[in-house]
Each structure stands twice: as structure tokens, then as C-alpha cells.
Amino acid sequence: MTTLNIENVNVTSFDAMPSPADLHARLPLTDRAATAVMKGREALRNILDRKDPRMFVVVGPCSIHDPEAGIDYAKRLKKLQEEVGDALLLVMRVYFEKPRTTTGWKGYINDPYMDDSFRVDEGMVKARKFLLDVCELGLAAGTEALDPISPQFLGDLIAWTAIGARTTESQTHREMSSGLSTPVGFKNGTEGDIGIAINAILSASHPHSFLGLNDQGRVAIVRTRGNRYGHVVLRGGAGRPNYDTVSVAMTEQALVKAKLPANIVVDCSHANSYKNPALQPLVMTDVINQVRLGNRSLVGAMIESNIVAGRQDIPADLTQLKYGCSVTDACVDWETTETMLREAAQALRPILAQRLQSE
């Protein structure tokens, strides 16, 4: 009988990866890092449950590509957290995976050396090491869960998770979210559809059973209890913003109709700023003003921020990379970030005092 080549026709190789347990043993969770993660998650849950009157802000580079610059940013953010922590919970944006419409650099895990060598095995190690360093500083970290396998390697170091606009409608990501240990922000669809995010929250709040990996790297049936800390992230869509009072009110109504908590986060970037980072401060100001005027559903914001403003293409000679500048979406610089967060904290303090007195 002739053996037909009918399986893995377009696969060139299967390269070995360490198991999640192997990576955890190599880079174990320290007591200090574990404390930062647990405190971050608890604070986020308390904000979503209205036990903590503050807002949270997920702020940081569009993507991590240079760990040295990333830790430089984290140290600055930690210092700023100490200054504004009475009004804002700062969660560092630590994105290692970048969804692509067609092609492009897929992020630090997929191609850590930015040379198309795609050393995913080394990228996962480097990503875990970076997260450990961030958490060791006492910061909470937030990331986008794109690859459904990655949380097994990195999930113990994450305090907040985003599901992106391209994957919120994905059954795989809704199932995965139902088992994550963090609050999960579901972004509205790329065309601005809020219903996609609301359906995702509902789905993730229920138990699921699906194929996944255990800590030994073996395929397993994953059975989850459901995650009740899903919430909407408004990021605009179809080239239009949706952070205005009317859009927020309509989102509130849709959440109430679905019998879900009215928890809304505004992404100051993407379509909400027309992908122009210079507009992010205006979006943030508008969001804070809505809170000052009495809105209780706006619980958080997202800011794409780096040490240096703008973005850069990845050069053939990586020594020519500009330090602290994004290689994906353009960001506001550190000075602008400080101003945005200080002004937000100053504007919120009287409101938070009123909330505490009324409770």
C-alpha cells in the first residue's frame, strides 16, 4: 500500500518548547512578585465591585521589544504610582503579542531578536523574565492574551488581561477568559460593535470545557468555573471614537439589559484618538470630566505610552533603534504621560472624597 502524504502538508517542522512547569522552575515566582500580582488583582476586583472608589489605568508601551527600556519605563511608573496611588491604580501595559491583519512583527515572544528567527522558545523565557522584573518592582502588569497557550507560561505574573478587538468574537478566547485568574477587559469589535464585547463577557462568565495544555505541556481537557470580572473596553471602531457621553450611556444601557455590571474602560488610543497619540490626552481629559460630572460606570482607562514619543520602523541594523521608542503603534512620551496621570489624579481626588463620604 502506498503511503500518502496527507498530514502536515504545509508544516516544515515541530520545534520543541519547554513545558510551563519547566519554565516556572527555571524562573520561579518570588514572594515579592507574587505579592504585587495578588495586590494588583485584588485592587482591580475591588474597583470593579465598587469597594475601591479609584480608577485604574493600564499604561505603557504599545509593545515590549527592548527589556532595558521597558524596565526603565517600569521604574518611572512605579515612582509615579507612589505619587498618584490615592486616586489611580496604575497597571503597566506589558504586551508581548501583536495581532496582525496581514504581516508584520508579531511581538517579543514570537520573534524576540526581531530578525525573523522566530525563537519562540527563547522569547517565552525572555517574556517571563521581564514580567518577573516588573512585578519585583511592586507593579501590577496587564497584557493582551492572544495565543491561548501563553497564559500557562505567564499567567501567574499578570494582574489584568485584555482580549483584543480582533479576538473578542473568538470562541477560543472567550473560553480561555473563563478560566483566567485576572479581571478581563473585552474590547469592542474593530467596527465598533459593543454587542460583541457584551456577548464575550456573558460567555466568559460561564463554565466551559475545552482542549488546552496543562503545566506539564500535555494536551488536557480544561474545565473552568467562569470569570465574573469581565468588562467592556471602548476603543472606537470603523475610524470613529466611542468614548463620548452618548456612547458611554448606550454602553451602560446595553450592559444593564444584559444584566451585567456597568463597568467600562476607555482605551485612549486606537480609533478613539484616530491613531494620533497627540489626541490621547484629550480623550483622557474627557473621560475624567465625565467622572467629575457624576458618571459611575467609567472605572478605567488605557494609554499607549513610552519614554520617547512616536514610533519607528525596525531597521536592518538593530543598533540603530531609538531607545524607548515604539516599534508598533505610536505612543505619547513620558513627560506627557506624567502630566496626563497627575492631572487625572488631581481632578479625581475631590470626587473620590465625596464617594467615600457617601458610602
Q: What is the dihedral of CA 183, 186, 187, 190, to 10 degrees?
A: 150
Domain count, the chain: 1
Look at residue 278 in the predicted model and tell me its pLDDT.
Answer: 97
Residues 239, 251 contacting (CB under 8 angstroms)? no
Best CA proximity match to 269, nearest among 260, 261, 278:
278
SS3 of 247-259: the string is HHHHHHHHHHHCC
pLDDT grade for 359, boundaries at 50, 70 and 90: low
Task: State the residue range of the domain holding 103.
Answer: 21-310+349-358
Give the CA distances from residue 29 to residues 26, 53, 249, in Å, rounded to whole numbers and listed in that order. Answer: 10, 30, 41
User: Which pLDDT band, with edges at 50, 70 and 90, does 277 fall under?
Assistant: very high
Confidence class for position 99, pLDDT limits 50, 70, 90: confident
Residue with cell 463597568: 263
- Specify the DSSP element, H or E, that contains 187: strand 184-187
- Whole-angstrom Cα distance, residue 248 to residue 295? 9
Q: What is the mean pLDDT of residues 280-307?
A: 98
The pLDDT of residue 12: 93
Q: By mean pLDDT, which of 5-19, 177-191, 200-214 is the weakest?
A: 5-19
Is pLDDT of 2 > 70? no
Please list, in sequence order, all residues whose beta carbon lies within 8 angstroms of the beta carbon of residue 240, skipping any fewer than 6 positions away.
192, 271
Average pLDDT score over residue span 125-143: 98
Lowest-confidence pick of 99-103, 219-223, 243-247, 321-325: 99-103
Please state, for a pLDDT cut of 70, what percent of the chain lies above it. Answer: 98
Residues in contact with 305: Cβ distance below 8 Å, sequence separation at least 6, in sequence order: 59, 60, 61, 93, 331, 332, 333, 334, 336, 337
- Taking CA atoms, 318 is separated from 114, 205, 312, in Å, by 8, 44, 12
Residue 171 covered by a domain:
yes
Residue 129, number of CB atoms within 10 A of its CB: 14
Q: Which three cell numbers stand for residue 49?
A: 465591585
Q: Are 331 and 306 in contact (CB under 8 A)?
A: yes
Identify whether 281 is part of a domain.
Answer: yes
CB 345 within 8 Å of CB 86? yes
Query: Does 321 reside within a domain?
Result: no
Each residue of 5-64: pLDDT tens digit?
Answer: 889 999 999 999 999 999 999 999 999 999 999 999 999 999 999 999 999 999 999 999
- Average pLDDT of the segment spanning 211-226: 96
Cell for 178? 473563563
How many Å apart are CA 278 and CA 331, to the nearest integer? 8
CATH no. for residue 146? 3.20.20.70
- Compute the average pLDDT of residues 234-253: 97
Compare 139 and 3 and report the one with higher pLDDT: 139
All three cell numbers of 294, joined, read 457624576
Three cell numbers written together for 22: 519547566
Whether residue 282 lies inside any domain: the answer is yes
Q: State the pLDDT confidence band at 90, using cuts at 50, 70 and 90.
A: very high
Instruction: Report the DSSP pairing between strands 184-187 and 230-234.
Output: parallel
CA–CA distance, 108 with 98 (Å, rounded to integer): 9
pLDDT value at 212 more than 80: yes
Q: Please report whether residue 315 resides in a domain.
A: no
Q: Decide if 268 contacts 283 (C-beta within 8 A).
A: yes
Across the chain, what does the average pLDDT equal? 96
Output 359 or 95, whichever has higher pLDDT. 95
Specify if 333 maps to a domain. Answer: no
For residue 94, with 0-12 CB atoms within 10 Å meaning exposed, 13-18 middle and 19 or more buried, which class applies?
buried
Question: For position 3, what pLDDT does the model report?
Answer: 62
Q: Is residue 324 part of a domain?
A: no
User: Would you say residue 271 lies in a domain?
Assistant: yes
| Distance of alpha carbon 305 from alpha carbon 333, whole angstroms | 6
Asked whether 238 and 191 are in contact (CB, 8 A), the reply is yes
Give, in order, the Cα–Cα distances in Å from 217 to each of 5, 96, 120, 345.
27, 21, 15, 44
pLDDT at 1: 55
